[in-house]
Structure formats: structure tokens, C-alpha cells
Amino acid sequence: MNFEATPMQQELRELTRKFARKTIAATVEQDEHDGTFRPEYIRELGSLGLTGIPVPEAYGGAGLGYQHYIVTIEELARVSAAYAISVAVTGLPQVILSSFGSEEQKQKYIPKLAAGEGVGAFSLSEASSGSDAASLRTTARRDGDHYVVNGTKLWTTQADSSDVILLMARTGGPGPKGISTFILEKGTPGLSMGKREKKMGMHISHTMELVLNDVRVPAANLVGNEGDGFTIAMSALDSGRITIAAVGLGVASAALEVAANHSRERQQFGKPIGEQQGIQFMLADMAVKLDAARLLVQRAAWLKDNDQPFSTAAAKAKLYATDMAMSVTTDAVQLLGGSGYTQDFPVERYMREAKVLQIVEGTNQIQRMVIGREVHQTREF
């Protein structure tokens, strides 16, 4: 196995790093404080070819795979996990439509999102259906050449900025076979924003309640067939877990960089604290966890790119990388001491960002269920 980055991966890393550290870094702390999302950053990332990496060139994408995609996501997350997730969430409708959409849907919706000229969203969760996604209650009733959608959705990332929302609703009986997927466009009558969640972190990334009151969606906006929605959602979550794991890598990398620099600069007892064995052990553990997580994420991306079963590998990558991010950012705060607990240093933000990564795209308890079922059925290891 070759662990060396390809020239294209290196080019993507340098391109993303330059933009993130020059442009996003200039406003990230103030925007995080104010809760300001800047769609112009998505447009600029699109102009650089960074918002459609995993989708075919025929629809305006870069025609590259997840092994390239995770490079950009990680680099963005080093500066802002919120914008990394924004790119990943805008990518979800593109990935879903590439796999399950009609040719008309692909031509109509993917190019704009791939170019960064629009923002995308994915809406599955409800008050009564989080981890138990198959229990959702939002309904879509066929009425001639439209569906009439009613209900309330929760935890929809950047819905208030989105031009295209892929939404799951119930067209049939209870359980997963009664769920279908629809494309909703910005400004559709009856679609409105409810409350914006007050979160402990990721303030740039708005998490919204969606209220659907007799929303008429053209039948042409049904993705796949009626009853395909749960399969589509689970496929999207498998892919999304790889990108969330990559966000964890970026957040942890940034935290380790700050901690290592601090250990060289901070003097106590007449020498840099990094010369103390206890500090070196902390840094060593952080570095090993980060490297191990990166290998898991790269393997999951390789499996997906090579059309191999990757669901369990994605669950492992998401579980370990986000738990790792929480551990590394917590240790970074500890290593900086009192300074780490202040907003003068970014590690307290990284710690708050890492926490939500253990929850989104399926909690890490759900990942353990996915992995545990696979282990239970496996005869050889």
C-alpha cells in the first residue's frame, strides 16, 4: 500500500490550505462569536473546484473520489469545522443524486451545487426520530402530479441558507419501507424555517427546524421510487460518516499544532514545558491517535472509491476519528492550562466543535451497534 499523497491530493491540500488560512481564518473567530455564515466562502471554494470533488465531471464535478475529498475536508476543518461541514453537507445532495437521481435531476441540481453557486442540505431527523430514523412522521401524500408534504424536521444543517434540500418523508406505512426522498427548492410555498438551535459550538453552521405546511413538491422531484428513501438515507449516512471523520482529523490536527507550539514556547521551572516527560507523553499519545485515525479514514475512503463494501469501515472511521478528536482537543486544553480555557486560544473552540462530531451522522453509540453486528457475524479476524 502506498501512503504517499498523489500529486492531485497534494495540490488539493495546498489549494484548500491557502484559501482557508488566508480567507476563512481572517473572520472565523468573529463569525463563530456572532453566528455568521458566509455563503460567499462556498462560492469561492466552488470557483476553486472544491465543492464538487466526488461527483462526475459530466455534472460539473471534479470526477475524483473520496480519497481526494477527505483531503479538502480535513484542511478546511483545521481552520473551521463549520465550513468543512458546510462543504460536506452541500456534497450530500450531489452524491445522492449521482447515485439515485434521474438524469433530469442530475442535470438540474448537481452543477449548481458542484460549482458552489448553491448550498445544499439533508433533512432526515425529527423530534421523535433521531437514531431511530425509520420512525419519522413527516408525510408526503400524492395529489395528481405533486406530493403534498406536511410535518416538522429537526437538526437540518444550513437549511436557512440552502437552495436545495433533500428531505425524507413518509409515503407509505410504518417502518423503513414507507419512506421516500424528495428534492425541495428554496422558496417553495409552505416551507418555512422554525427555530434555530442554540448550540455549544459550530455557531457559524446554523442548525434549523423545518416546518412544512402543505408544501407541494412536483412528482418529478421524487428521488428514485416511493419506498426508496430509507435506503437512500442510509447510503448517504455511510458516505457522510467518512467526511465527518475527516472533519475530526482536521480539528485534532489543529489542536495538536497549537499544543505542540505552546509546549515549545511556554517556560516553566526554567525550561520549555515540552522538555517535561509528562508533556511529551501527552503529545505522543495525541500524535499516535491522530495517525491511527487517519489510516482508518483513508481505508474507508479507498473502499468506497473502489466499489468495495465500506459501511462498517466508515462506521469504524467515524467512531474512532471523532472520539480521537474529542480526546485530543481535551488534552490540548489541559496542556495549555488556564490559557486553554480562554478564548485567547482556539483550543476551547476545537473542543466544542469535536463534541458534536461524536453525535452527527449517527451517534458513536450507533456506530458501535453497526460494528458490533458485523463482528457478531464474522468468523475470522
**Where in the sequence numbering do the catalytic residues fall?**
361
DSSP-assigned letter for residue 328: H
Q: Which phi-psi region, left, alpha or beta, contains residue 295 (left: φ > 0; alpha: ψ -120 to 50)?
A: alpha
Coil, strand or helix at 360? coil
**CB atoms < 10 A from the CB of 244, how many?**
30
State how beta strands 222-223 and 179-185 pair: antiparallel
DSSP-assigned letter for residue 197: P
Coil, strand or helix at 35? coil
**Rounded distance between C-alpha atoms, residue 215 and residue 91, angstroms:** 24
Return the bridge partners of 193, or none: 210
State how beta strands 164-170 and 120-123 pair: parallel
| Helix 7-19 vs helix 66-79: crossing angle, to nearest 10 | 20
User: Count of alpha carbons within 13 Å of 356, Cβ hemisphere only?
Assistant: 19
Using an 8 Å Cβ cutoff, are 371 and 315 in contact?
yes
